[in-house]
Structure 1
Amino acid sequence: MPQEKSKVTIYDVAARAGVAISTVSRVLNNSDDVSDRTRARVLRAIEELQFRPDRTAKTLAQQATQLLAVAMPTFTTPFHTELMKGIRTCLRERDVDLLLCDLGSTKRHLTLMNFLRRGTVDGLLLAGVDVTEAIAQELQALHAPVVLIGSEWESFDSFYWDDVAGARQAVEHLIEQGHRRIGMITTATGSPLQNRRIQGYREALEAAGLPFDPSLLASGFTEKHAGYSEEAGYEAMQTLLQVDPPLTAVFASSDVQAIGAWKAIIDAGKKVPDDIALVGYDDIKTSTYIGLTSIAQDMQAIGQRATEVLLERMEGKRTTPPEAVLVVPKLQVRRSSRRTR
């Protein structure tokens, strides 16, 4: 009778096959330094014992492990899905194990600290978290390369977006289309990212001689994904539809909010863009198909570039000081904001 899987170790396999544990480890890592006869004996022992190697067993014969961790607030929003596509593209042909850490929308700093303290990894991609001094100290204690996405810290390589410039482009476009009453969909909970986009919105208005009116900012009450959801966008748009005098354009902090807002506009018997022009943020794939004007952040390419840098650090191919890359988003104009009258 085979032993229970949870109790079977590399030592059990070595004893069953009559070899040293280093030989078992070489078989597990597909080393050529094992005879065919010995390899067959070890594989037979593994099968008989129903052994499933853990990470320690798998890497006994390796100079270093290759465990790359990705920590994000969520893996299910279109924004983060696009980042993951870029990461997966980079890892597709690499012999690297991927560990995912879902930080959640709330208490993400605490979740990250707990994750970091559970054990070391060989490299970490950290996305969507504003790094503090305390987090920076924990990251440095990893003694492993770290690449930040969406934030910046001088001790680590980072890729981050100019959110002020992105929001400014969105609102400048609406002003160029002749709009003077422009609302903005935000999130109920403030954040540095949200504050930067509000700043860009305000700068564009004031540069055009238009007043910044806080009453034209609205958010939904749905908390899912920290307010970056279709539901929250729908709720915020319902509020903006009550503004008097009426708005003629709306800038949403994300494409998913803009999609929810679009439905609210239609449900109110109005048309996009004839009655209300609409601009989103992120430029997810869906936006291309429905004709939503958006601010493109090129998340997939950034995910791939960040992973390439991390792998180069892990492999010792990149030894230069950490580099901060500022990415300027680009406006993609589509039918949701083009004037038709």
Structure 2
Amino acid sequence: MPDRPSGGRPTIYDVADEAGVAISTVSRVINASSEVSDVTRGRVQDAIRKLQFQPQRTARILAQKSTTSVAVALPSATSLFFVEMLKGVKDALRDKDIDLLLCNLGSAQPYPTLRRFLDRGAVDALLLMALPIEGDATDQLLNLQAPVVLLGSRHPDLDAYWWDDEAGAFKATSYLLEQGHERIGLISAQSWSTNAAPRLDGYKRALAEASVEFDPSLVVAGKTAKHAGYSEEAGAEAMEQLLDLEDRPTAVFAASDVQAYGAWAKARDMGVRVPRDISIVGYDDLKTSRFLDLTSVAQGMHLAGRVAMDRLLSRLSGDSNDRVDVQLPLTLNVRSSSGPARR
């Protein structure tokens, strides 16, 4: 446990000592988590009243009469996937006197950056996008003394809005199987991406349920590692690998729309027609995809960003108590980039 300063304002550690609980339990009570028994909650609340403990966030709000800043921490501020969600965040903050801070974590080593950002203690609330809560980040977030909402990941003590990536990949692959395709390529992200494994699982499950044998040579990733492999360049590189196979696939499921864009361009460059020679399905349903007529699994990122930020603002205002855990919907929008397999 870190050393506590002597004297001065009571800290969360003082409350934990007084109540005889861990600091994570105090944090759960402060954040109105349902994962605390009534007896323990009462003991912590008694300690808070006895010590006249005020979390830093509450003290700032009482002093300033308003909340000044919220932060969004995300793996990439330039990826189109996150840009769509940020548009929803912006809509939620429209006409509100609140500053928005962005913390670009990077996709390869995000946790050290997140720890440094949280150590500064400069925000009243945090929306964390697409980052699993693990390791040292867990205690740091639970003890932040400010509301935290997760978008694209889950934790039992925090508000969360998330998608089932395995189900989305299953939906896309099943559609292609229903169109008569049996050799279906999967353009995956880098193996260390948190979405790569569940989307591969969904692809495999769809094949298994259709009694189609899994062929590992049909699962490829591009060499370009930026954005964890979710890029046009990586999509083009992966499509080239698939089209170089002696027995080419008749359809390709790309784990993101931007990969699908690159794959489509590479197919065109190699004289392969879409969808006549090969069908392509993406994942995300970015705004651009609707104009390109790309079949894609829609995640509704704009709405998700707005809903998650609305929840964070509700937490700040004190209007919400019970934790929420919301699975966001996925739909498949079929367009002209895909069609029946040609015999």
Amino acid at match of 2:113: T
1:55-80 deviations in Å (ceiling 9; x for gaps): xxx98961453310000011111110
Q: Which residue of 2 aligns with 1:99?
A: 101
Structure 1 gaps of 5+ residues are 1-57
Q: Which residue of 2 aligns with 1:240?
A: 242
Amino acid at match of 1:200: G
Which of these residues, 162, 179, 182, is aligned with residue 180 of structure 1? 182
Distance 1:161 1:60 in 2: 36
Amino acid at match of 1:175: L
Q: Which residue of 1 aligns with 2:160?
A: 158
Contact kept? 2:153, 2:160, Cα under 8 Å: yes
Amino acid at match of 2:331: K
Q: Which residue of 2 aligns with 1:262?
A: 264
Q: Which residue of 2 aligns with 1:336?
A: 337
Amino acid at match of 1:76: T
Secondary structure at the aligned position of 1:280 is classed as strand
Amino acid at match of 1:245: D
Secondary structure at the aligned position of 2:315 is classed as helix
Distance 1:308 1:112 in 2: 22
Aligned pairs (5 A) from 1:168-317: 168-317=170-319
Distance 2:307 2:61 in 1: 27
Contact kept? 2:70, 2:101, Cα under 8 Å: yes
Secondary structure at the aligned position of 2:73 is classed as strand
Aligned pairs (5 A) from 1:131-146: 131-146=133-148
Amino acid at match of 1:328: P
Q: Aligned residues: percent identity?
A: 48
Q: Which residue of 2 aligns with 1:148?
A: 150
Distance 2:216 2:194 in 1: 17
Secondary structure at the aligned position of 1:136 is classed as helix
Please identify, of 61-70 and 188-197, the stretch whose mean Cα deviation from structure 2 is larger: 61-70
1:215-251 deviations in Å (ceiling 9; x for gaps): 1111111112111000000000000001221210000
Distance 2:222 2:68 in 1: 42
Contact kept? 2:180, 2:341, Cα under 8 Å: no
Contact kept? 2:181, 2:340, Cα under 8 Å: no
Q: Which residue of 2 aligns with 1:123?
A: 125
Q: Which residue of 1 aligns with 2:327?
A: 326
1:24-78 deviations in Å (ceiling 9; x for gaps): xxxxxxxxxxxxxxxxxxxxxxxxxxxxxxxxxx989614533100000111111
Distance 2:287 2:153 in 1: 24
Which of these residues, 49, 67, 77, is aligned with residue 79 of structure 2? 77
Contact kept? 1:73, 1:103, Cα under 8 Å: yes
When normalised by structure 1's length, the TM-score is 0.80
Amino acid at match of 1:288: R
Contact kept? 1:231, 1:257, Cα under 8 Å: yes
Distance 1:66 1:323 in 2: 24
Distance 1:143 1:150, change over 3 A: same
Shift of 1:291: 0.7
When normalised by structure 2's length, the TM-score is 0.80
Secondary structure at the aligned position of 2:72 is classed as strand
Amino acid at match of 2:235: G
1:244-298 deviations in Å (ceiling 9; x for gaps): 2121000000000000000111111010011010000000011101110000000
Shift of 1:134: 2.0
Pairs aligned (count): 283
Aligned-CA RMSD value: 1.6
Distance 1:227 1:123 in 2: 30
Secondary structure at the aligned position of 2:189 is classed as coil
* Max Rg structure: 1
